[in-house]
Amino acid sequence: MVRILTDEEQQWLEQAIASAQRIVICGHVNPDGDAIGSTLALKWWLTGKGKQVTVAVPNYFPDFLHWMPGAKNILLYSKSPEEVKKAMQEADLMLLVDFNQTSRMNEMEEAVNASKAVRVLIDHHLDPDRSCASQVVSRPEMCAASEVVCHLLWQLGEWEHVTLDAAICLYAGMMCDTGAFTYNSSRSVIYECISHLLEKGVDKDRIYRNVFWTCSPQRIRLQGYMLYVKMQLMLPYHASIMTLTNKERKRFKCVNGDTEGIVNMPLQISRMRLSIFLSEDTEHPERIRVSLRSVDDFPCNEMSAQFFNGGGHRNASGGHLECSMEEAVEIAQKAIQAFATKLK
C-alpha cells in the first residue's frame, strides 16, 4: 500500500473529519460503479465513526448497481433536490469523490457551491481543479477513486474499521473502472489492495456476476441489435462507431445500465484499437453522450478532449456534444481521421 498524503495533509484531514458531525459525500453525474462504490465505502466508514452521513449524486445510476450495500439510501438530486440542498446546508464537511471539477455534477453543482461546508476532493482523474476544495487528494495513476480510498484508509490507520460492506463497495468500484481488471490495472499495488479486500470476506465472483452477468432479456436483444445493425466499422483505421437514439431505447425497453459495456464489444474484433459510442442523453435529447474505449497505447482521452469536450484516461474516456446524432457521427469520423496515424 502507498502513502497518498503528506504528514501535514494527513493531520489536516484527520482534524477535519474529527470536527465534523454532518458529512455529505457527492458523486458525479451519470454515476458509474466507481462513483457509487467509492462514495458508499466512505459512507460505511464514516457512519461507523458515529458521523451523520448522506451520499448524493446528480441523477439516476444503473440498475445493475442497486445491489451494492447502502445503494438504496443514496439521494438523487434529480428526484429530491430540496432534500439534497438541506443536507448540504447543514453539512460541516463535504467529500467530492471521483471527479476533478464541480461542473461534473451538472445541476447539483449550484447546491454544492451554496454550502458553507469544508470541501475535500478525492479523485483519480487528470488536472483536478484545486480551487474547488480545501484539500485535494488526487492520484491520476490509480485505476479508480475506490483505489484512492483504499490507500487513504490504510494510511489513516483505519483499515481495521473497513467493514465487509465497505470492502464490497471498494472492490466493485475498482472492478467497474477497469473492466474487471482488463485495462488500466497493471500496477502490482492494485492487487495488494484486492488481497486486503478479499481478507475482509469479499466474494469477488458474486460481485462480477452482479455487475456483468445479471441483465434483462431486452439488454441481450439490444446488444445484438447494436452489433448487427448499428456498428459502423472503419477497418482501415482500426476503429468503430455505434449510435443509440432515445427512440431505440424505447423500442428495446431499456432501463438504467442496459447500455453499460456495449462500447467495449467492438474491441474484441482483431486489430481493433478504438471504439466510439454515441448515445442521445435521456434527460437532454439535444445532447449526445460520448464514450470512448481503446487498447494498448491509443490515447482516447486526447481525442475526447480535442473533439468531444471531455477527457478521462488513456483507454477509457468520455465527453458530450450539443448537436444532432448525424452531426455527432460526422465529428466522430473526423476525429478518427485526425488520429489516423496513431490508430494505424
> Is 1 part of any domain?
no
Q: How far apart are CA 304 and CA 292, in angstroms?
A: 8
The pLDDT assigned to 126 comes to 86
Domain of residue 71 covers 7-212
Domain count for the chain = 2
Burial of 169 (0-12, 13-18, 19+ CB in 10 A): buried
CATH number at residue 326: 3.10.310.30
DSSP lists the bridge partners of residue 293 as 275, 316
Same domain? For 200 and 232 the reply is no
Domain boundary among 212, 239, 265: 212
The answer to whether residues 282 and 246 touch, using CB atoms and an 8 Å cutoff, is yes
Helix axes 33-48, 145-155, angle to 10 degrees: 20
pLDDT tens digits for the chain (344 residues)?
Answer: 999 999 999 999 999 999 999 999 999 998 999 999 999 999 999 999 999 999 999 999 988 899 999 999 999 999 999 999 999 999 999 999 999 999 999 999 999 999 999 999 999 998 899 999 999 999 999 999 999 999 999 999 999 999 999 999 999 999 999 989 988 899 999 999 999 999 999 999 999 999 988 888 888 999 999 999 999 999 999 999 999 999 999 999 988 778 888 999 999 999 999 999 999 988 777 899 999 999 999 999 999 999 999 888 889 888 999 999 999 999 999 999 999 999 98
pTM score, two decimals?
Answer: 0.85
Beta pairing class for 316-322 and 52-57: unpaired
> Is 2 part of any domain?
no
The pLDDT assigned to 206 comes to 96
